[in-house]
Amino acid sequence: MKIGIIGSGNMGRSLGILWAEQGHQVFFGSRDAAKGQAVAEVAGHATKGGTNDEAVAFADVILWTARGILPSNLLSKPEALNGKIIIDCNNGDIPEGFEYPAIIESLAEKLAKDVPSARVVKAFNTMAQEVFELAPEPLRNYNVSVFVAGDDELAKKTVMQLAEEIGFVPVDSGNLRNARLIEGLADFIRFIIIGQHKGGYATISVNVLPAAETQRLGGRQASSLK
Ligand SMILES: NC(=O)c1ccc[n+]([C@@H]2O[C@H](COP(=O)([O-])OP(=O)(O)OC[C@H]3O[C@@H](n4cnc5c(N)ncnc54)[C@H](OP(=O)(O)O)[C@@H]3O)[C@@H](O)[C@H]2O)c1
């Protein structure tokens, strides 16, 4: 795959290197072409670097790491994203005291509204960047979930494959509206890691359990609750 990175900071550099290690062609984009090129030089694996516009022109799949910055404000031709997959890994600012506001519209939905002909997928926002250092091994042993939400099924499948390749367990999380839930989940994870000073990096793994063979607690009774 041809993957373009928008914003060559911590997330862009880490995921770009991991995908390049898997044999994908990666272009590190930046507001400063020299920075993109410098990141590519460090990354190796025949990666390239330059401007964000060049990254979009190069790629079929784009990782968008510029928090809260919309394509119409960052790219000279936002329509160059039409038909392309955009992975939105962003989370909101952490407010004072972790008093997060309710998420009415997710960052991913705002991105999709700005470029309605692009195929936006929410993913990779619920784990700390430090976790990527463990990828793909020994990460694979820990079954860490990547929650993947989007309205385009094929785009979602592509992103799930990219997650699997680097040692995560992709979890199909429904349509893009569910990015509201996933961003809320990331807010909670950041509270646990940073706010509760647990040490290390908390992650989430979805485990699907079998039903118990006996129902000694009475089983689930009919309820009027939805
Ligand atoms: N770090 C983590 O552990 C982590 C984990 C999960 C999700 N996330 C989310 O992923 C996103 C990126 O995080 P990060 O850790 O990679 O941050 P970062 O290291 O600060 O990188 C973000 C990049 O965005 C670009 N950028 C920043 N301000 C911009 C602006 N005004 N206009 C255009 N581009 C701008 C910059 O790229 P250039 O200088 O190259 O232009 C910057 O390097 C955030 O939304 C964050 O919440 C982070």
Report pLDDT digits (tens) over 146-195: 999 999 999 999 999 999 999 999 999 999 999 999 999 999 999 999 99
End-to-end, the C-alpha distance of the chain in Å comes to: 43
CA of 89 relative to ligand 1 center, distance in Å = 9
At residue 198, does pLDDT exceed 80?
A: no
pTM recorded for the entire structure: 0.98
Index of the ligand 1 atom closest to the CA of residue 129: 3
Mean pLDDT of 119-123: 99
CATH homologous superfamily for 2-195? Answer: NAD(P)-binding Rossmann-like Domain (3.40.50.720)
Nearest partner of 62 among 94, 101, 90, judged by Cα = 90
Segment 65-77 shows an average pLDDT of 98
169 C-beta closer than 6 A to ligand 1 = no
104 — pLDDT class (breaks 50, 70, 90): very high
The residue-averaged pLDDT of 108-124 equals 98
pLDDT tens, position by position, 128-155: 999 999 999 999 999 999 999 999 999 9
**What pLDDT is recorded for position 199?**
82
Cα dihedral 110, 112, 116, 119 in deg (nearest 10): 180
